[in-house]
């Protein structure tokens, strides 16, 4: 299944001005850039996601003749530089955490090593393509945890920030354990189960709710009926009436509540259905739900069998961005870093090790890549010389399994919806601390 | 310039199940759907935006053979229905507010009138395409107002939710008065001015900051230099040294501050530059800015000449979604509505009138479309029988002018960054109230 092609000019203009300068200076040596989040507000962990989209982009990266014409029209680039861009491809090496790996602040999710111009050009797109799936996977896993094994379906296509966000979100949420998505294009593109039956407008378009239900089950007998268009419990009674009229032909599998006091309505609906001998009809809930609302409903004992979750997760409403950055950590074999307040970066190529005790992760160590640390390395080579390695694209099922296994190994306190009183310990290795201190000293001597 | 094509299957599955049922019932009569926001949290007004993308989508809407094959593979649709989808086009009429029109809760931003199956199919995409540009235009105008005429540039491409969000955002922000964008693809596609010079990584890749500055101005003499990679005021001193060395050849136009206490640093940088006789060198600021940060900097007297604004606006961080809906208000000449708690919709086709007193808007009236109300109608026919009217696409310059004029006419109290103590009055006309009450009565008799 092909993804949408990312336009080559989807980049910040400064990437191109820097490229022209690098080229003029002959600075085309190998550069190393890390992608990481500086902080983790409102989350106890992140889940790395979006690697597949990054690799698709890097493999197909090419500047077209039409792109060159536009850049020429800006009047700020040299003709020989524009010709150079025409031939530019991504030939670098990429290390990354597998999709679905739990990750923490300052840990590289992905490292790009490539000749400086290539590594610099792709900054904007790589960050964009990795940031959003990681953002929504890290939000969405809270919903599947709150739902305690009940089915969750992504309903967020209409208010996600654009079409490709909605599609990328459906994919990320399937990795974190969502049962499916309402988004047909995401289903087509990634083989995700699609779900959906009927909206309020269908009920409204008919002269009465009862008529709309009867008509819809004539077409889709095993459907879920939406019962809250006018009055939720009246709606449930209409479903019960329909069951009486249809007898053995009644196959409706569920009713959906989408507004009002969902806990009270679910209890009342369950009582009506059970009383009518319809215990096989399940109750679905939707309507502005997030992980906290779901946890509260279940804590309240609401008899809800599944959830449709929309906007709050597709836009990660409580924290709609990560403080994610793409930072130069080495150029031409020399460590690089940044000392700006609040934006310090760790120098040099790195590896992240997860330290295990039995089957439990007890902490991570961010280390130099060439350093020997006991623990499980989380960054793997996924692309070499611009070509994706077969192991880099395990498929959605394998990513789901990888995520589930990784979550199982995390301390239970991180799996709470509130901030863990004791955060997961992430250490910086002695060798990396020494490198950082050398870098700071070097710079302070410089100025 | 062409926009990305929205896949026809970018729709919620329930749109398709409803379509098959409508078709089986012969319910292909004319339907009217309104797009509106139910509430306006953290905003005193919205700005309608995204119409161009909606019209592009509706004009090119078509289900491909590959799409049909996928739908067939789901095993839930009838073969004759799938053949019917293959021939389906959008043949309806669309009314909308011009891009850049100030709007309020419950006012239709757009109305679709089409045979039910067409109007229903396009719900998900129409809402998605209108919601996000309206969201970011309504956020971004707060930034241009806070900047009080200083240049603002969109820097948000890397953390917008996907590639098409970033491009749509750059367009919306240009309409609300941003000078330009760092996003080259948005510049190419929509003719928006592009801006950008150099990043921290360029400074870091060189052996020293001084060397990086000297090299960069050799390539781009009139550039903006980023001075905060290691120590901001040291960075400014390097720029001053460079000016001394270059003499008349020094043409650097600005320095950019991206971290730390921006007000204090701007004052100190201004003092250093002025002392060195370099009053022509301007000061730009960036780094996590939003409208409140910009207002605070300017209230503090910070001598800043322009702003780069990123993530906070591209994701509308303080309110990353609108409570926007696409609701059926009439079918086959009959009013429709919804009575769910908190989700009541106004029945029937509508017009919104802006009531003027001289050159000031004093309130709006939401009325029945066929009702005569004194005031300026805000909804215009933009597409008829599936064809866009020429007046529907006035171009970005005209939309910028329309927006500026519309803002000028709004009461000054709405242009504050805080919630207006007295919100803008939006009335519902007598005829519309009567229709709503008829609808409610009709339904309560029904059940």
The per-residue pLDDT for range A163-210, each reduced to its tens digit, is 999 999 999 999 999 999 999 999 999 999 999 999 999 999 999 999
Q: What pLDDT, on the 0 to 100 scale, is given for residue B338?
A: 73
What does the mean pLDDT of chain A come to?
Answer: 95
Cβ proximity of A168 and A131 under 8 Å: no
Domain ends where: A314, A339, A362?
A: A314
User: B60-94, pLDDT tens digit by residue?
Assistant: 999 999 999 999 999 999 999 999 999 999 999 99
Instruction: Say which residue, B338 or B169, is predicted with more confidence.
Output: B169
Domain carrying residue A293: 145-314
pLDDT at A2 over 50: no
* Domain shared by B263 and B331, yes or no: no
Q: What is the mean pLDDT of residues B326-347?
A: 85
Distance from CA of A147 to the nearest CA of B (A): 22
Band of residue B399 on the pLDDT scale cut at 50, 70, 90:
very high
Q: Percent of chain A at pLDDT above 70? A: 97
* Domain shared by A304 and A163, yes or no: yes
Q: Who's near B441: CB < 8 A, 6+ residues apart?
A: none
Band of residue A439 on the pLDDT scale cut at 50, 70, 90:
confident
**Which residues are bridge partners to A326 per DSSP?**
A35
* Domain shared by A232 and A326, yes or no: no
Helical packing angle, A123-146 and A51-60, nearest 10°: 160
Domain ends where: B266, B282, B314?
A: B314
User: Inter-chain contact B205–A328, Cβ cutoff 8 Å?
Assistant: yes
A 405-424 near B (Cβ less than 8 A)? none
pLDDT at A64 over 70: yes
User: A14-55, pLDDT tens digit by residue?
Assistant: 999 999 999 999 999 999 999 999 999 999 999 999 999 999
Band of residue A447 on the pLDDT scale cut at 50, 70, 90:
very low
Band of residue B59 on the pLDDT scale cut at 50, 70, 90:
very high
**Which residues are bridge partners to B180 per DSSP?**
B153
Band of residue B345 on the pLDDT scale cut at 50, 70, 90:
confident
* Domain shared by B168 and B62, yes or no: no
* Domain shared by A41 and A151, yes or no: no
**How many CA atoms, within 13 angstroms, populate the side-chain half-sphere of residue B159?**
27
* Domain shared by A309 and A334, yes or no: no
**Which residues are bridge partners to B356 per DSSP?**
B361
User: Inter-chain contact A10–B124, Cβ cutoff 8 Å?
Assistant: no
Instruction: Say which residue, A440 or B58, is predicted with more confidence.
Output: B58
What does the mean pLDDT of chain B come to?
Answer: 95
Domain ends where: B314, B330, B360?
A: B314
How far CA B324 is from CA of A257, A298, B38, B425, in Å, comes to: 19, 28, 6, 20
Is A403 inside any structural domain? yes
User: Inter-chain contact A340–B259, Cβ cutoff 8 Å?
Assistant: yes
pLDDT at B2 over 50: no
Q: What pLDDT, on the 0 to 100 scale, is given for residue A4?
A: 66
Q: What is the mean pLDDT of residues B215-241?
A: 97
* Domain shared by A149 and A293, yes or no: yes
Which of A154, A147, A128, A103 has its CA nearest to residue A403?
A: A103
User: A135-164, pLDDT tens digit by residue?
Assistant: 999 999 999 999 999 999 999 999 999 999
User: Inter-chain contact A14–B198, Cβ cutoff 8 Å?
Assistant: yes
Q: Could you tell me the CATH number of the domain that includes residue A71? A: 3.20.140.10
Encoded tokens for A351: 């590896």
Q: What pLDDT, on the 0 to 100 scale, is given for residue B60?
A: 96
* Domain shared by B181 and B102, yes or no: no
* Domain shared by A125 and A177, yes or no: no
User: Inter-chain contact A230–B447, Cβ cutoff 8 Å?
Assistant: yes
- CA dist B141 and B177 (Å) reads 7
> Could you say which of A24, A204, A228 has the minimum Cβ distance to residue B337?
A204
Is A299 inside any structural domain? yes
Q: From the CA atom positions of chain B, what is the Rg in Å?
A: 26
Is A6 inside any structural domain? no
Q: What pLDDT, on the 0 to 100 scale, is given for residue A441?
A: 85
Band of residue A338 on the pLDDT scale cut at 50, 70, 90:
confident
Q: What pLDDT, on the 0 to 100 scale, is given for residue A154?
A: 98
Is A8 inside any structural domain? no
Local structure of B51: helix, strand or coil: helix
User: A78-109, pLDDT tens digit by residue?
Assistant: 999 999 999 999 999 999 999 999 999 999 99
Q: What is the mean pLDDT of residues B145-166?
A: 98
| Cβ–Cβ contact A264 with B under 8 A | no
User: Inter-chain contact A127–B168, Cβ cutoff 8 Å?
Assistant: no
User: Inter-chain contact B159–A128, Cβ cutoff 8 Å?
Assistant: yes
Q: Percent of chain B at pLDDT above 90? A: 94
Which of A38, A33, A20, A321 has its CA nearest to residue A161?
A: A321
Is B7 inside any structural domain? no
Sort out which chain A residues have CB atoms less than 8 A from B171's CB and list them: none
Q: What pLDDT, on the 0 to 100 scale, is given for residue B62?
A: 97
> What's the structural domain count of chain B?
2
* Domain shared by B302 and B428, yes or no: no
Band of residue B31 on the pLDDT scale cut at 50, 70, 90:
very high
* Domain shared by B338 and B272, yes or no: no
| Cβ–Cβ contact A165 with B under 8 A | yes
Q: Percent of chain A at pLDDT above 90? A: 94
Helical packing angle, A262-275 and A232-246, nearest 10°: 20
> Could you say which of B76, B195, B328 has the minimum Cβ distance to residue A204?
B328
Q: What pLDDT, on the 0 to 100 scale, is given for residue B442?
A: 81
* Domain shared by A149 and A249, yes or no: yes
Local structure of B405: helix, strand or coil: helix
Q: What is the mean pLDDT of residues A300-312?
A: 98
Distance from CA of A374 to the nearest CA of B (A): 32
Encoded tokens for A28: 């085309």
Q: What is the 3-state secondary structure (H, E, C) of chain A?
A: CCCCCCCCCCCEHHHHHHHHHHHHHCCCCEEEEEEEECCCCCCCCEECCCHHHHHHHHHHCCCCHHHHHHHHHCCCCCHHHHHHHHHCCCCCEEEECCCCCEECCCCCCEEEEEEHHHHHHCHHHHHHHHHHHHHHHHHHHHHHHHCCCCEEEECCCCCCCCHHHHHHHHHHHHHCCCCEECEHHHHHHHCCCECCCCCHHHHHHCCCHHHHHHHHHHHCCCCEEECCCCCHHHHHHHHHHHHHHHHHHCCCCEEEECCCCHHHHHHHHHHHHHHCCCCCCEEEECCCCCHHHHHHHHHCCCCCCEEEECHHHHCCCCCCCCCEEEEEEEECCEECCCCCCCCCCCCCCEEEEEEEECCEEEEEEEEECCCCCCCEECCEEEEECCEECHHHCCCHHHHHHHHHHHHHCCCHHHHCCCCCCCCCCEEECHHHHHHHHHHHHHHHHHC
Q: What pLDDT, on the 0 to 100 scale, is given for residue B395?
A: 97
Cβ proximity of A47 and A136 under 8 Å: no
Band of residue B130 on the pLDDT scale cut at 50, 70, 90:
very high
Q: What is the mean pLDDT of residues A106-134?
A: 98
> Could you say which of A218, A341, A447 has the minimum Cβ distance to residue B234?
A447
Cβ proximity of A279 and A302 under 8 Å: no
Is B55 inside any structural domain? yes
- CA dist B304 and B149 (Å) reads 12
Q: What pLDDT, on the 0 to 100 scale, is given for residue A209?
A: 96
Is B33 inside any structural domain? yes
Q: What is the mean pLDDT of residues A131-138?
A: 98
pLDDT at B225 over 70: yes
> Could you say which of B196, B322, B338 has the minimum Cβ distance to residue A200?
B338
Q: What is the mean pLDDT of residues B172-188?
A: 98
pLDDT at B253 over 70: yes
pLDDT at B444 over 60: yes
Q: What pLDDT, on the 0 to 100 scale, is given for residue B445?
A: 58
Sort out which chain A residues have CB atoms less than 8 A from B22's CB and list them: 202, 205
**Which residues are bridge partners to B103 per DSSP?**
B46
Q: What is the mean pLDDT of residues A378-403?
A: 97
Is A1 inside any structural domain? no
Query: Which residue matches tokens 């429709």?
Result: B336
Local structure of B62: helix, strand or coil: coil
Q: What is the mean pLDDT of residues B272-277?
A: 98
Q: What pLDDT, on the 0 to 100 scale, is given for residue A445?
A: 58
User: Inter-chain contact B340–A260, Cβ cutoff 8 Å?
Assistant: yes
Q: Could you tell me the CATH number of the domain that includes residue A259? A: 3.20.20.70
Strands A30-37 and A110-115, by their bridges, are antiparallel
Band of residue A443 on the pLDDT scale cut at 50, 70, 90:
confident
Q: What pLDDT, on the 0 to 100 scale, is given for residue A3?
A: 47
Cα angle for residues A431, A435, A440 (degrees, 5° grid):
150
Q: Predicted ipTM?
A: 0.96
User: Inter-chain contact A158–B327, Cβ cutoff 8 Å?
Assistant: no
Q: What pLDDT, on the 0 to 100 scale, is given for residue B1?
A: 35
């Amino acid at each position: 299944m092909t993804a949408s092609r990312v336009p080559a000019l989807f980049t910040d203009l400064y990437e191109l001005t820097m490229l022209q300068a690098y080229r003029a200076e002959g600075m085309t040596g190998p550069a190393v850039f890390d992608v990481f989040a500086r902080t983790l507000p409102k989350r106890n962990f992140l889940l790395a996601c979006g690697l597949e989209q990054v690799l698709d982009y890097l493999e197909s990266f090419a500047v077209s003749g039409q792109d060159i014409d536009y850049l020429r029209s800006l009047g700020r680039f040299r003709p020989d530089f524009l010709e150079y861009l025409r031939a530019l491809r991504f030939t670098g090496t990429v290390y990354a955490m597998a999709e679905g790996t739990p990750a923490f602040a300052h840990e590289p999710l992905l490292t790009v090593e490539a000749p400086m111009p290539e590594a610099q050009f792709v900054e904007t797109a790589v960050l964009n393509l990795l940031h959003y799936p990681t953002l929504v996977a890290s939000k969405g896993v809270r919903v599947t945890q709150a739902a305690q094994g009940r089915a969750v379906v992504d309903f967020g296509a209409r208010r996600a920030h654009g079409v490709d966000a909605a599609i990328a979100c459906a994919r990320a949420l399937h990795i974190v354990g969502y049962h499916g998505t309402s988004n047909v294009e995401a289903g087509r593109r990634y083989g995700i189960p699609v779900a959906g039956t009927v909206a309020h407008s269908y009920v409204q378009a008919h002269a009465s709710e009862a008529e709309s239900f009867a008509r819809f089950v004539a077409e889709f007998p095993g459907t879920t009926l939406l019962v809250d268009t006018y009055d939720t419990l009246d709606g449930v009674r209409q479903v019960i009436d329909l069951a009486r009229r249809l007898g053995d032909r009644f196959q409706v599998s569920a009713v959906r509540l989408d507004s009002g006091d969902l806990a009270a309505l679910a209890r009342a609906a369950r009582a009506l259905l059970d009383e009518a001998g319809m215990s096989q009809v399940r109750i679905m809930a939707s309507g502005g739900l997030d992980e906290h609302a779901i946890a509260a409903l279940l804590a309240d004992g609401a008899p809800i069998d599944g959830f449709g979750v929309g906007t709050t997760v597709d836009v990660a409403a409580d924290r709609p961005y990560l403080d994610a950055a793409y930072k130069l950590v080495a150029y031409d074999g020399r460590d690089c870093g940044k000392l700006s307040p609040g934006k310090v970066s760790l120098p040099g190529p790195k590896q992240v090790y997860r330290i295990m005790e039995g089957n439990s992760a007890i902490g991570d160590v961010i280390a130099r890549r060439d350093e020997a640390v006991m623990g499980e390395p989380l960054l793997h080579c996924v692309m070499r010389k611009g070509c994706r390695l077969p192991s880099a694209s395990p498929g959605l099922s394998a990513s789901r399994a990888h995520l589930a296994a990784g979550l199982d190994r995390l301390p239970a306190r991180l799996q709470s919806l509130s901030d863990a009183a004791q955060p997961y310990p992430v250490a910086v290795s002695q060798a990396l601390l020494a490198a950082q201190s050398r870098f700071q000293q070097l710079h302070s001597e410089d100025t």
